[in-house]
């Protein structure tokens, strides 16, 4: 629970003092807090972390595909038309025509149909039950799927970006152009709103429109709580740093 790791009331009190010393309103402070939380949520979303996550996601995507598909070097029809003759790495075999995937659309449909394991993973099929396709078709399908990597992360960055634009004045918190750069193309799936609420007013709402972001495997409640707490701490530290810079001028 967030209370076990962060004393939120105490941290909110520190934030109020820091924003007052800096000359900010509660609205401005909560907006800055929202930007930091959005960044933290992006990091806490699977694949977890700040670096190397693109490769992790692409590896998982391809591993999912290879559990149900066997890419081959060539495929040619048999005389009967009911089977095909396939070759791969010098080996030859016959395969049912019904399990030949002709294009990237069929590859992606087959993968989705076989997502039967927990966390929407594919179940490894016996070799004789695999579908086959040529390597060029497989690579095209993977390129399509790789383009979706970082969708949930990118939506949180988008939400943070919307919140960042609500700030006023010269000094602003931003998500950074190079922060999880591969995911930023999905920023349009994120949104943010400010509204009145109890206690520390107003409150900010960060919205992730990526459907799978609601999965506890993709982002757990514990990680959401941590992101809120870490974001709050970082906002307080930002105010302290900004105040020192102002005094040094």
Predicted confidence at residue 211, as pLDDT, reads: 83
Q: Please report, in tens digits, the pLDDT of each residue of the chain (249 residues total).
A: 344 467 888 999 999 999 999 999 989 999 999 999 999 999 999 888 888 899 999 999 999 999 999 999 999 988 777 889 999 988 899 999 999 999 999 999 999 999 887 767 898 999 999 999 999 999 999 999 999 889 999 999 999 999 999 998 878 999 888 899 999 999 999 999 988 655 556 789 999 998 888 888 889 999 999 999 999 999 999 999 988 876 665
Q: What CA–CA distance (Å, rounded) separates 208 from 218? A: 12
On the 0-12 / 13-18 / 19+ scale of CB atoms within 10 A, 65 is buried
């Amino acid at each position: 629970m967030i209370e076990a790791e962060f004393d939120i009331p105490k941290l909110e009190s520190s934030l109020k003092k820091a924003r007052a010393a800096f000359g900010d309103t509660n609205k401005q402070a909560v907006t800055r807090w929202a930007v930091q939380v959005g960044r933290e949520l992006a990091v806490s979303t699977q694949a977890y972390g700040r670096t190397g996550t693109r490769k992790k996601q692409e590896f998982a995507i391809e591993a999912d595909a290879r559990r149900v598909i066997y890419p081959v070097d060539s495929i040619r029809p048999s005389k009967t038309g009911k089977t095909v003759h396939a070759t791969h790495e010098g080996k030859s075999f016959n395969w049912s025509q019904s399990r030949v995937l002709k294009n990237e659309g069929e590859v992606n449909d087959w993968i989705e149909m076989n997502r039967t394991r927990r966390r929407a993973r594919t179940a490894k099929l016996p070799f004789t039950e695999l579908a086959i396709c040529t390597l060029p078709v497989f690579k095209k399908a993977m390129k399509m799927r790789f383009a979706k990597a970082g969708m949930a992360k990118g939506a949180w960055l988008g939400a943070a970006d919307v919140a960042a634009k609500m700030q006023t004045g010269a000094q602003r918190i931003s998500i950074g152009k190079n922060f999880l750069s591969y995911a930023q193309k999905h920023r349009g799936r994120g949104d943010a709103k400010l509204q009145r609420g109890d206690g520390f007013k107003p409150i900010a709402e960060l919205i992730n429109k990526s459907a799978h972001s609601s999965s506890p495997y993709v982002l757990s409640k514990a990680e959401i709580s941590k992101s809120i707490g870490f974001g709050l701490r970082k906002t307080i530290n930002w105010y302290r740093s900004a105040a020192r810079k102002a005094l040094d001028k």
